[in-house]
């Protein structure tokens, strides 16, 4: 698959394929109110430019999960197939009579921790396997909270310009990245929060807002990357 092909129809994907899109342009971060910017970004996802497709290797995904994702979630390679297709496992059916004002839970809920680690591990896999970034150039930041926003997920040191094709303009080697994950469509509120997190730390650097989600039922994960700066 070639980069920069636009949003034309693509060949069918397997469950281990992830398409990466770049939202057009470089977003100038607002100073405080990110709600309008988030709505604009969400409206642009459908016209984002195709960047590349990569195939997820389960063992590589678990490696990225164990060494780079925030939460302590084990066996991500086992969880990935059910999350990628949105398949929830069934619970035991009711035997006793349930009171009328209560409902029975028939399917397990997806875990936010697992979903979040899938997103972070996919992003790191993309950095390593597609862009060729060395493993010692990426670190997960400690989630410090200040003014309602937590520090973004990753700090990337890119002295060799490996992110240039993604960022698309001159940039300093230090780049911040925030990953937002969803087992459905990406909500504007999550995009809004991600913009605030990046705005908190960016001075003269660029930032990457990576949206990992499943915008279509039974279509697997896609990644939208938004490039931002002050």
* Model pLDDT for residues 57-86, shown as the tens digit of each residue: 888 999 999 999 999 988 888 888 888 877
First to last CA, the chain: 32
Using 50, 70 and 90 to split pLDDT, how confident is the model at 8?
Answer: very low
Q: Determine the pLDDT at residue 92.
A: 81
| Over residues 82-104, mean pLDDT | 80
- Candidates 57, 89, 90; CA nearest to 76 is 57
**CA 81/CA 165 separation, integer angstroms:** 30
- Candidates 214, 195, 201, 202; CA nearest to 33 is 195
| Over residues 193-205, mean pLDDT | 93
Whether 8 is covered by a domain: the verdict is: no
Whether 11 is covered by a domain: the verdict is: no
Q: Determine the pLDDT at residue 222.
A: 93
**CA 16/CA 54 separation, integer angstroms:** 8
Whether 158 is covered by a domain: the verdict is: yes
How many domains are contained in the chain? Answer: 1
Q: Is the pLDDT confidence value at 1 over 60?
A: no
Whether 5 is covered by a domain: the verdict is: no
pTM: 0.88
pLDDT in tens, 105-154: 888 888 888 999 999 999 999 999 999 999 999 999 998 887 677 899 99
The pair of structure tokens assigned to 78 is 């086992």
Q: Which tops the pLDDT comparison, 15 or 29?
A: 29
Cβ count within 10 A of residue 216? 11
Domain extent for 190: 17-84+111-229
Q: Determine the pLDDT at residue 100.
A: 83
DSSP string, the chain: --SS--S---PPPPTTEEEEEEEEEEEEPPSS--HHHHHHHHHHGGGPEEEEEEEPPHHHHHHHHHHH-SS----HHHHHHHHHTT-PPBPPPP-SPPPTT-----BPPPPHHHHHHHHHHHHHHIIIIIT---GGGEEEPP--EETTEEPPSEEEE-TT-TTHHHH-S---SEEEEEEEE-SSSPPHHHHHHHHHHHHHH-SSSEEEEEEEE--STTS--EEEEEEEE-
Whether 95 is covered by a domain: the verdict is: no
Q: Is the pLDDT confidence value at 10 over 90?
A: no
Determine how β-strand 174-181 pairs with β-strand 145-146.
Answer: unpaired
Q: Is the pLDDT confidence value at 5 over 60?
A: no
Whether 12 is covered by a domain: the verdict is: no
Comparing 37-41, 89-93, 153-157, which segment has the lowest mean pLDDT?
Answer: 89-93
| Over residues 177-202, mean pLDDT | 94
Whether 135 is covered by a domain: the verdict is: yes
Whether 9 is covered by a domain: the verdict is: no
């Amino acid at each position: 698959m070639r980069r920069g092909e636009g949003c034309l129809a693509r060949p069918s994907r397997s469950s281990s394929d992830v398409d990466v899109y770049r939202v057009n342009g470089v977003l100038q971060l607002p100073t405080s109110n990110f709600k309008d910017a988030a709505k604009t970004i969400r409206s642009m996802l459908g016209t984002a430019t195709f960047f590349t497709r990569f195939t997820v290797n389960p063992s590589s995904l678990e490696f990225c999960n164990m060494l780079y994702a925030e939460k302590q979630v084990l066996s991500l390679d086992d969880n990935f197939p059910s999350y990628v297709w949105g398949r929830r496992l069934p619970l035991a059916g009711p035997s006793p009579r349930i009171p009328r004002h209560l409902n029975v839970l028939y399917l397990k809920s997806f875990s936010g921790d697992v979903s979040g680690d899938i997103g972070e591990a996919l992003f790191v896999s993309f950095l390593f396997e597609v862009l060729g970034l060395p493993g010692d150039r990426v670190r997960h930041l400690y989630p410090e909270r200040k003014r309602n926003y937590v520090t973004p997920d990753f700090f990337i040191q890119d002295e060799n310009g490996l992110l240039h094709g993604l960022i698309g303009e001159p940039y300093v080697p230090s780049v911040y990245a925030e990953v937002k994950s969803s087992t459905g469509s990406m909500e504007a509120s999550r995009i809004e929060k991600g913009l605030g997190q990046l705005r908190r730390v960016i001075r003269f650097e660029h930032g990457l807002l990576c949206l990992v989600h499943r915008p279509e039922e039974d279509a697997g994960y896609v990644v939208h990357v938004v490039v931002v700066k002050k």
